[in-house]
Amino acid sequence: MAKIIVTLNGQVKYDVSLLKARFSIGRRPENDLVLDQATVSGHHAAIDRTSVGIFILDLGSTNGTLVNGQPITKHLLQHEDVIEVGKYRLKFQHGHNNSHEASAVLSTAALSVGDGSQLPKLVAKVKVLSGTNAGRELLLDKAVTSLGRAGVLVVTISKQHQHYVAAKLEGGAARINDRLLEAEPVLLRDGDELDLAGTRMKFSVATEK
């Protein structure tokens, strides 16, 4: 089971398992994790469990939410990520009982023990099909890649084990294969086309040769 370890000034305050689909964080008493400190907003952030991963969301807090020192609106959490909420530090840890994580671990183990092979390394990219940057390719070699422009439209593509997911963080209309893309992450498949406010892109993924 995934959990967070909450510290303040280097001292561990809580060790909390993430059992709920949405785990709320803030200063007000109705939150799942109450952080009673002036720099924490009443409803500061939330951790959402989805079918494709666990996300931290800032809920429009006054002082913002950081992950590994960087301000975020929404972020796909990775093992050992450090979330900053006011003066508190929340270290995220995946548990081996998490079904998605466990299945990936078991699959890797089966390949490694069974025939000495490893999971193939994936190479993913998006190619711009329209607009002034038509023909340009962007290699998706980070855990999370942001596309678009802040305040206008921002879409993220995140690598989760052996697949990629897309989600809209903010802004206007975004589509995948003519279907609206919202905040809920969508699994990307080779050949999918994205439309970001009129700019078309094509997603591709293949095993490294």
- The pTM is what? 0.52
Domain boundaries, the chain: 2-94, 122-207
- 185 or 101: which leads in pLDDT: 185
For the chain, what percent of residues have pLDDT higher than 90? 40
The Cα–Cα gap between 4 and 2 comes to 7
Per-residue pLDDT reduced to its tens digit, 63-121: 999 999 999 988 989 889 999 999 999 999 986 443 343 333 333 333 333 444 455 68
Intrachain domains 2-94 and 122-207 with the same fold: yes
| Range 138-153 burial, b when 16+ CB lie within 10 A, else e | eebeeebbebbeeeeb
Q: Residue 127 has which token pair?
A: 């190619």
Q: What is the pLDDT of residue 171?
A: 80
Residues with Cβ < 8 Å from 8, sequence gap 6 or more? 37, 87, 88, 89
CATH topology of domain 2-94: Tumour Suppressor Smad4 (2.60.200)
| CATH class entry, domain 122-207 | mainly beta
Instruction: Inform me whether the pLDDT recorded for 125 exceeds 80.
Output: yes
Mean pLDDT of the 121-126 span: 89
